[in-house]
Structure 1
Amino acid sequence: MTDSDLPPIHSLVPDVGRPRLKDKVVIVTGANSPMGIGRAAAFRAAESGARALYLCDRHGGFLDAQARQLRAAFPSLDVLVRHFDAASEVHVKAVVDDALSRYQRLDVFFANAGVGGDHVPFTQASAEDFMSVLRVNTMSVFIAAKHAAPAMSKTSASKPSPGGSIIATASVAGLRANAGPTAYSASKAAVVSLAQTMSYQLAGTGVRVNAICPGLIQTAMTAPLWDAARAKGTQGKIDYRH
């Protein structure tokens, strides 16, 4: 893919006054998809004044093109591309350590990597597939927070006070019944619980943990659902509980 093939990203909420992420270091996982939440979040971080941005994904087909686009739009931004499995503790620790080594700080970790799993009744799902979804969707959040929280607590000349923000992508499927496949829903419910529990344990440290719960959004992961609906002419009837 060339840079011109990437779909445009439009800013909807401009910063008022000082950019919210001025001089901050940001890590985003699940950033490869041109039509994904990760790419939109990365663009928003750049727009908000970030000093450095790590674009991370196990699939690297579009990361380099996105990095070039960001560098062209934001010349003062350091954009670093990393290809790794977000559920691999070795790789997550390495990118966190790299941020500390290069910039002596880490401020934001957006744990956005995820998979949808198979849309089958739970009686037809295998234990292996169930655990595979939990590994990517839930374990990756645990590992991200485990290594990001201590890193965010470190201070330096450029960061005199500890603190930071860990954000995990959950889903409305983790909040209500029948809004997603069994494994996916369970994994996202676990992400919500992780965020609640970890934020309680980090109280007073300056490190915040939040889970966001999007409804159905047109991304690469949900493309089959939207394509099927368009083919039937029923896209207007899609249940936004998903």
Structure 2
Amino acid sequence: MLLLDKNEAQGVRTAVLDSIRQSSREDIGSGRVAHKVGIVTGVGPASGIGTFASRLFAREGARALYLLDLSDVLPDFASELAKTFPDTKITFVRGDAADEATVRDIVARAVKEEGRLDFYFANAGISNVRPKEWGKFDPNSRESQLQALRHGGRTLDMISVEEFMEIQRVNVLSGFLALKYAAPAMQDAAPAVGKRIPGGSIVLTASVAGRLANAGSLPYSASKAAVVSMAQTGAYEYAGYNIRINAICPGLIQTDMTAAVFAAARSNHNEGATGQINPLLRHGLPVEIAQAALWLVSDDASYVNGQPIPVDGGLTASMPYQRKLVKRPAKL
């Protein structure tokens, strides 16, 4: 077999990423979640998974979306979403997805106003706690890039108990509260508003770091392992109610959370190397995780339950190794 030229491989990678970005801008859907009412947490950052998922849910016909985040840009995003998809009622709440009263109230509000709750995408999460005195991460600052990379790469003895507990609070407690309050709200049918069959779908954002070592720091990995376990255990907790609970396990995705990694790669003229250890030889985009969430909250995934689903380019399909690129023979 002939070795695949490195430039040709890079060209394929670039074409695929460009195609995915282009398709994410489309405004016409096929109604995959038509008439459904949902809640999404972790919404706001322009390149965030929750932001892309909210857009997909609206594009695919959701009747009402309730968006929850602490981001200052959430109102602007909600306004833009409502203008683009006027048939979807958009409601935003600025709050903490790991605060019990906030989650209880947004679930109660959705049910009171819409008469039903069909899905909850518990996407809010953090990878570490950035010191307040550093301010916001500046992707154009070399010093900010290095600062963020050093902070993310700290060894266990350099991480405080307080930071460990905050990561668990945000990542784990937010998922627990989603199950605690959203699942009971999905248990009953609501014929008056078109929900003839009880049930719903809860999707938790986990990570490949919750399934395998060496994909994140210990506090982050521990939190995501707990999220995976909650999806599996929660599915049995609500057995018989037609409530499906699953977790998505992203690989390396280009989001605000990983901005420092990509900024450093760009400054070193090495951006093409990101994500090279999976069989697709590339990183993922947030819309690719959002598409998985869309599938899981839709009726298309009606028999998928209690699963940690990797969306990682094949990273966890085998032991990682640096494979040789080969030129496949042309089809006859």
What is the TM-score with the length of structure 2 in the denominator?
0.67
Counterpart position of 1:93: 104
Q: How many residues align?
A: 233
* Percent identity (aligned): 46
Q: Which residue identity is paired with 1:66?
A: F
Q: Which moved further from structure 2: 201-210 or 91-100?
A: 201-210
Q: Which has the larger radius of gyration?
A: 2
Q: 2-side partners of 1:102 and 1:126: how far apart?
A: 43
Q: 1-side partners of 2:87 and 2:264: how far apart?
A: 42
Q: 2-side partners of 1:90 and 1:104: how far apart?
A: 20
3-state secondary structure, aligned to 1:180: coil
User: What is the CA distance between 1:233 and its match in structure 2?
Assistant: 2.1
Over 3 Å counting, the alpha-carbon distance change for 1:9 and 1:147 in structure 2 is farther
User: What is the CA distance between 1:20 and its match in structure 2?
Assistant: 2.0
Whose relative contact order is higher, 1 or 2, with alpha carbons under 8 Å and at least 6 apart?
2
What is the TM-score with the length of structure 1 in the denominator?
0.90
Q: Which residue identity is paired with 1:73?
A: T
Q: In structure 2, which of residues 209, 231, 245 is the aligned counterpart of residue 209 of structure 1?
A: 245
- Give yes or no for the alignment of 1:187 onto 2:199: no
1:198-223 deviations in Å (ceiling 9; x for gaps)? 01222221110000001111111111
Q: Which moved further from structure 2: 170-179 or 90-99?
A: 170-179
Q: 2-side partners of 1:48 and 1:146: how far apart?
A: 27
Deviating runs (4+, > 4 A) in structure 1?
A: 11-16, 239-242
Q: In structure 1, which of residues 29, 36, 45 is the aligned counterpart of residue 57 of structure 2?
A: 45
The answer as to whether partners of 2:27 and 2:59 remain within 8 angstroms in 1 is no
| Structure 2 portions without partners, runs of 5+ | 1-20, 129-150, 278-314, 317-332
- Give yes or no for the alignment of 1:83 onto 2:94: yes
The answer as to whether partners of 1:9 and 1:40 remain within 8 angstroms in 2 is no
Q: Which residue identity is paired with 1:186?
A: A
The answer as to whether partners of 1:89 and 1:143 remain within 8 angstroms in 2 is yes
| CA RMSD, 1 decimal | 2.0
- Give yes or no for the alignment of 1:10 onto 2:10: no
3-state secondary structure, aligned to 1:106: coil
Q: Which residue identity is paired with 1:151?
A: A
